[in-house]
């Protein structure tokens, strides 16, 4: 993960927001390459989820809505995470990301329990050790009958084994350093207008903008159920503990579809259809199949109104976590807005002559998490001519730079001129690079490191020999072929756009 984060910064994929002012926790800026990659993910979503389907249309709703929208949807009352304050470190944590670890002495006896955050285990161990020492020194806890514990009697403190962790008591039963969890609402509030007295909210998801526009879209686009409305846009959550780079941030982007269907059992079929569709979409972006899995929610893990929810998970370097969710939400949302607004959101089915509130299937993905999954899937190292090479195996469709045009020598105007002409033609269609500086091998390496799938070199054969050929070098295999310069545009078109 550290290598990836380093590469992201060095090559201009992702920067910490407000770095100049020592950062701004939970916010990131996407640099020249990152913004291209993100934009390619979103345009793939638009083309596969919207344009390629005649049953889905798009929407771009406002980030700030009438606060009543969020009251009706249940977000004002219930969009919260459990939060605990640590009295020792004065930090705040999401209670469900904390766990209790027993610290043992050299005899294997548990001397105290410390509450640690589930982040990186090495940091956790260090922190836990520090905390344990502090707690023990201050005689703040009474563990297993010991009222005074002298830290100097322990040669070393060892940490919990897997089986110890299985038996961790609940924070409620052991609270030397933590306050009881309380609900913390994740919505950012703001105020609208000079004389407002009630708070407005930055949307924590794009979905509600779709529900409140259901009637508008249906009436204006003459869509008939089943049909979907998709939206791509920013969402904001005041996460208690943003972490794992762009995986959990406070400002992020979502791509969501609300697919409206009739009531009844048909949701099972549609849910399955969207699971397959979503997985194929992720595969088409280059997210590695062997790192993806399904997490089927059941029991407590399922929201009370949902019929089903299945997450696509990805094995990130910090652990397996949700990449996107596909939920069958019944008619919960439209009903809530019907009640809240007092206006009917019923649909009249002309074929069956029935009136009903449609149910929905909701595929919802976070662009930033997919961005990270693509980066992790693409990151590769090998050896070329005895030298270590780091490269990103992006699919051509998502690669930020599609091709790098390289005149073999920068001081030969006849080569530079031909290369420049080719670059001028290609840049009208794609984001391509023109690189003249340094030895050709170094330029290849630079292109590899940012995941440019093709390097096109103009050399003396291009200008001196019949057929005006250039070399096309493939990033992953380093293989090179010659191709007439006139065929480059068609070749790239097939490789990038399919
Ligand atoms: P989590 O359990 O990880 O907090 P969630 O279940 O609350 O996620 P949803 O409300 O289902 O997430 O949001 C849909 C998608 O939006 C998620 O699958 C994820 O890709 C993305 N997402 C949610 N919260 C964040 C965040 N803080 N940062 C980046 N992406 C996010």
Domain locations in the chain as residue ranges: 2-76+188-376, 81-183, 401-497
The residue whose CA has the least distance to atom 4 of ligand 1 is 248
Domain 401-497 has CATH 3.40.20.10: no
pLDDT at position 151: 38
Ligand 1, atom nearest to 254 Cα = 16
pLDDT at position 126: 55
pLDDT at position 99: 53
The residue whose CA has the least distance to atom 31 of ligand 1 is 366
- Nearest Cα to Cα of residue 117 among 79, 89, 136, 144: 89
| Spans of the chain, pLDDT less than 50 | 119-123, 138-157, 168-176
Task: Give the whole-angstrom CA distance, residue 334 versus residue 339.
Answer: 9
- Tokens 């005149």 correspond to 407
26: left (phi over 0), alpha (psi -120 to 50) or beta: left
Decide if 208 contacts 333 (C-beta within 8 A).
yes
Ligand 1, atom nearest to 250 Cα = 27
CATH number assigned to the domain with residue range 2-76+188-376, chosen from the 4 options 3.30.930.10, 3.40.1440.10, 3.40.1160.10, 3.40.50.300: 3.30.930.10
Q: CA gyration radius for the chain? A: 28
Decide if 210 contacts 56 (C-beta within 8 A).
no
pLDDT at position 242: 87
pLDDT at position 465: 83
3-class SS of residue 351: coil
Q: What is the largest distance, in Å, between two alpha-carbon atoms of the chain?
A: 91
Cα 324 to ligand 1 centroid, rounded to whole Å: 7
Q: Is the CB of 94 under 6 A from ligand 1?
A: no
Ligand 1, atom nearest to 239 Cα = 27
**Burial label, 351 (beta-carbon count in 10 A; 0-12, 13-18, 19+):** exposed
Q: Is the CB of 252 under 6 A from ligand 1?
A: yes
Q: Is the CB of 28 under 6 A from ligand 1?
A: no
Contacts of 325 (CB under 8 A, 6+ apart): 309, 310, 311, 312, 362, 363, 364, 365
Cα 238 to ligand 1 centroid, rounded to whole Å: 12
**Burial label, 490 (beta-carbon count in 10 A; 0-12, 13-18, 19+):** exposed
Residue-wise pLDDT for 460-493, tens only, equals 989 888 879 999 999 999 999 999 999 999 999 9
Cα 24 to ligand 1 centroid, rounded to whole Å: 20
Question: Can you give the length of the chain in residues?
Answer: 498
Task: Give the whole-angstrom CA distance, residue 278 versus residue 292.
Answer: 12
- Nearest Cα to Cα of residue 216 among 355, 67, 93, 59: 59
Ligand 1, atom nearest to 237 Cα = 27
Cα 203 to ligand 1 centroid, rounded to whole Å: 13
Q: Is the CB of 208 under 6 A from ligand 1?
A: no
Task: Give the whole-angstrom CA distance, residue 260 versus residue 221.
Answer: 14
Most ligand 1 atoms within 8 A of CB, residue of 287, 366, 370 to mutate? 366
What is the interface pTM, i.e. ipTM, of the complex?
0.98
HSE, CB side, 13 Å, CA atoms: give it for residue 194. 0
3-class SS of residue 69: helix
- Is the pTM above the cut of 0.90? no
Alpha-helix residue ranges (DSSP H) falling in 230-346: 267-284, 332-341
């Amino acid at each position: 993960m550290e290598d990836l984060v380093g590469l992201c910064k060095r090559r201009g994929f992702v920067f910490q927001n407000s770095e100049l002012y020592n950062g701004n926790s939970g916010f990131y800026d996407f640099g020249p390459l990152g913004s291209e990659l993100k934009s390619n993910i979103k345009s793939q979503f638009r083309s596969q989820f919207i344009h390629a389907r005649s049953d889905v249309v798009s929407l771009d709703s406002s980030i700030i809505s009438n606060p009543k929208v969020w009251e009706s949807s249940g977000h004002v009352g219930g969009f919260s995470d459990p939060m605990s304050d640590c009295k020792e470190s004065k930090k705040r944590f999401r209670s469900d990301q904390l766990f209790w670890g027993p610290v043992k002495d050299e005899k294997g006896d548990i001397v105290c329990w410390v509450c640690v955050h589930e982040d990186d285990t090495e940091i956790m161990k260090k922190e836990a050790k520090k905390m344990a020492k502090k707690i023990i020194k201050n005689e703040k806890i009474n563990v297993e009958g010991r009222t005074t514990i002298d830290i100097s009697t322990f040669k070393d403190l060892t940490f919990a084994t897997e089986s110890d962790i299985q038996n961790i008591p609940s924070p409620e039963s052991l609270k030397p350093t933590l306050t009881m969890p309380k609900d913390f609402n994740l919505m950012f509030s703001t105020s609208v207008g000079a004389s407002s007295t009630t708070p407005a909210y930055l949307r924590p998801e794009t979905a509600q903008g779709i529900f409140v526009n259901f009637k508008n879209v249906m009436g204006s686009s003459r869509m008939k159920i089943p049909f979907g409305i998709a939206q791509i846009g920013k969402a904001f959550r005041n996460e208690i503990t943003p972490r794992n780079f762009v995986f959990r941030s406070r400002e992020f982007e979502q791509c969501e579809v609300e697919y409206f269907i009739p009531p009844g059992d048909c949701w099972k079929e549609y849910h399955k259809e969207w699971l397959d569709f979503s997985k194929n979409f992720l595969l088409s972006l280059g997210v590695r199949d062997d790192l993806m899995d399904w997490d089927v929610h059941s029991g407590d893990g399922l929201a009370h109104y949902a019929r089903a929810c299945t997450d696509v998970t990805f094995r990130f370097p910090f652990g397996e976590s949700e990449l996107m969710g596909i939920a069958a939400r019944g008619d919960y949302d439209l009903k809530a807005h019907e009640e809240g607004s007092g206006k009917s959101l019923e649909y009249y089915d002309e074929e069956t002559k029935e009136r009903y509130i449609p149910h929905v299937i909701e595929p919802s993905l976070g662009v930033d998490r997919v961005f990270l999954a693509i980066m992790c899937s693409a990151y590769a190292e090998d050896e070329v001519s005895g030298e270590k090479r780091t490269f990103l195996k992006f699919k051509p469709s998502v690669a930020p730079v599609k091709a790098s045009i390289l005149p073999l020598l920068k001081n030969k105007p006849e080569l530079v001129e031909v290369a420049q002409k080719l670059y001028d033609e290609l840049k009208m269609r794609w984001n391509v690079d023109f690189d003249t500086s340094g030895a050709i091998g170094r330029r290849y390496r630079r292109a590899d490191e940012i995941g440019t799938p093709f390097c096109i070199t103009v050399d003396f054969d291009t200008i001196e020999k019949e057929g005006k050929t250039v070399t096309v070098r493939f990033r992953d295999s380093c293989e090179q072929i010659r191709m007439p310069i006139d065929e480059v545009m068609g070749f790239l078109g097939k490789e990038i756009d399919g």
